[in-house]
Structures are given as C-alpha cells and as structure tokens.
Amino acid sequence: MKAAPGESVMILSEARRILLCLRYGIGDVVMELPALETLRRAAPQAHLTALGSRHALQILEGDPRLDALACVQDWGLTHWGDPGTGESVERLEAWLQEQEFDLILDVSHAVIGVRDTLWARERGTVLDTVMNSPDPMLKKGKSGIEALNAIIYNSWGLEVPADLLPRIWLGAEESRFRETFLHRSGLEEGLVVGLSPVASSALKRWPETRLAALADRLVEEFEARLLLFCSPHDDSREVLGAMRHAGRVTVVLARHLRQTAALLTRCATFICNDTGLMHVAAAVGTPVVAVFGPTSPRLYLPPLPSCRAAGAETPCPHRKNNAFGPALCMVENRCLVDEKACIHHVELREVWIKVRQTLAAAAAAIR
C-alpha cells in the first residue's frame, strides 16, 4: 500500500526491514547519500537493504549505514530499461518473499523488471519520491541536491539537514590499496592532480587535445605529477598522444570504484567532465573542476566551495536548467545547434583559470 505523507515518519520508526531502491547511475547514487544517512538515523532499528546496479553499488560496499546490498545484475537484468525474463522475475520474486520487506522506498527508481515486480506484489508499505516533482524547487534556483532533499521530505517525511553533504565511507582496505599504488608509482610526495576524459556521452566530453594541453601546463607551471583516470576501454591514448610531458602521467584504468575513490583522495584537484567520478571525487573531499556542456552545473555540480564549473556560460537552448533528465540533444546523440557540441566551445583558458583558483585555495587551506 502507499502511505499518506503524514504517516511517513511513524512508518519509518516502526519498520523492521527496509528496501531502498537506488537510482541507476553512479552520480545519482552519490547525490542520494545525504538522504541515506538521514534514513539510517531515523530508522536505526531497521535492517536496511539497498538495491541498485553493480557499478553504483560498489561505492556502498562495507558502508556502515547499510546492512545489505542487492545487485540487479544478479537476477540477469542488464540495464535500467530491462523488463527481465520469466526466469529472472521468478528469481526476484523468490528473493523478495524470502526478505519479507515491510517498507519499500522509491520503487520508481528501480530497474523496470524490479519496479514492475514490486508494484505487482502489493505487499509492504511504499514511500516513493516519484509522487513529488523536484521541478518547483529547481525553478526557484535550488541546487540538484537541495531539490532531491525537498522531495525526500515530502515523500518520506525526513528532513535532510542542509549541511549534510554526500560522503563516501572508505575503510582500511582502501587505504592499504592507495598506499601500495602510490608507493609503486612514486607518487607518495609532491603535487598530484587527477584528470579524466571519461564521459557518458560524446556531447559531454571536453576535447582530449585541450585536456592534454591543460595537463602540460600543470607539469610546466606546478611540476605536477598526474593521475589519468580512464574508462574500461582505456581512453588515455588521445590525451597522452597530444602531450609533451606524457612521462609525468600515471594511467589509472577502470578499477573498483572504492579503489578509484581512494586514489582520488591523493589528488590536490580533479579535472573532469560532468560524470559520476565528479561526484565520487567531491564525496571523498577532493576539490573538483568540472567542464560542463549540455548539462547544468546548478543541478549537478556538487554544492561545495571547493567545486568549480567551467562552461556554464556557454549558450545552449536545449540545456535543462530547471528539470532533471537528459537534454534533447543527448537523447538524439547529436548537437541540434551547431556542427560541434557546446562543450567544444569551452576554451582552455577558462578551465585553466578555474584550476589555478582551486589549487590556490587548496594551498591556502593547508597553510
């Protein structure tokens, strides 16, 4: 059954077994972490299971705020829109029956096959943020996280503290990995800056040649050593091929997200596109300079003084500034205004100014 808003707090305080359906993407899950922490405080007695995609769940492994993780890929579901097969739905149904959840949060965020199965069961109480749109808050100029927190309050009855920001918990295992990696790479001392060409869409990828030029400037002006974080497909070739100082770069191929997060803590700043890694870096305390194209920094840039956006002033009539979701150009996978995407109009100088500001602020904080 669906609960009335006024009943939400009582339902949370009495729940024994809670299933939290996470959004699919890495960045989306990181943005939900303040709500997760508030939920844990509100229901300390409950056994809390988070359900999501394998890549996003990696950041929550070993997290003390959760009691269990459930991965949709374990039931044969391969992407957010996957309705599943008869066999996968049967296995999911058996798992749900075994778990006996008495409260389910945000069914609408689950993979289609899980969502449809949960709605069909009609067992347990459901509190779902889909009943409240974040758009009114976004139209008032609020950040993406502020809008998410508002719909959490309207849907779950939980008030997320304004000063509670996303935080990824890292343990001793990640610390050991980081120290071993840095020792083997000779990166234990000196200035280390992280960079990444990774993007979920070509429209969100700043040209690799400009990233390479920025990397060379970091070496020449600051004598920096560089960590280049790449995707499983190893997109380092174009960046390294355009650099004069490629020997100062240590390539980090796609790793477990918690290992990546641990390495990001060594970086004085992280320069990237609007990706999940941007959110991960900010959530472990690393200053960020992110290059934006068809997405809005106000919605997606982590709301921290140490996080800066470049490209926000580049005009784009299809950019969504007051609503979540992909711009029309991203849906059609092509720029609808120009031969080149708007992110190609973000100049090196603009990003370099943001990087210098970020490094100066970090140095001042240390002093």
Identify the band that residue 111 occupies on the pLDDT scale cut at 50, 70 and 90.
very high
Query: Is the model's pLDDT at 223 over the cut of 60?
Result: yes
The mean per-residue pLDDT over the stretch 326-344 comes to 83
The model's pTM is: 0.93
Ordered domains of the chain (ranges, CATH): 5-156 (3.40.50), 180-366 (3.40.50.2000)
Residues in CB range of 45: below 8 A, 6 or more apart: 15, 16
Determine the pLDDT at residue 80.
85
Query: Is the model's pLDDT at 334 over the cut of 90?
Result: no
Instruction: Please check whether residue 300 is in contact with residue 147, taking contact to mean a CB–CB distance below 8 angstroms.
Output: no
pLDDT, tens only, 71-103: 999 999 988 888 989 999 999 999 999 999 999
Share of residues in the chain with pLDDT > 70 (%): 95
pLDDT, tens only, 268-313: 999 999 999 999 999 999 999 999 998 999 999 999 999 999 986 7
The mean per-residue pLDDT over the stretch 195-200 comes to 94
Query: Is the model's pLDDT at 211 over the cut of 90?
Result: yes
pLDDT, tens only, 38-65: 999 999 999 999 999 999 999 999 999 9
Helix (H) or strand (E) holding 39: helix 33-42
Distance of alpha carbon 358 from alpha carbon 305, whole angstroms: 9
Residues in CB range of 109: below 8 A, 6 or more apart: 21, 22, 23, 24, 115, 129, 130
Nearest to 271 by CA among 313, 187, 212, 190: 212
How deeply is 330 buried, as exposed, middle or buried, from its count of CB atoms within 10 A (0-12, 13-18, 19+)? Answer: buried
Q: Which two tokens stand for residue 232?
A: 């499983």
The total number of residues shown for the chain amounts to 367
Instruction: Please check whether residue 315 is in contact with residue 364, taking contact to mean a CB–CB distance below 8 angstroms.
Output: no
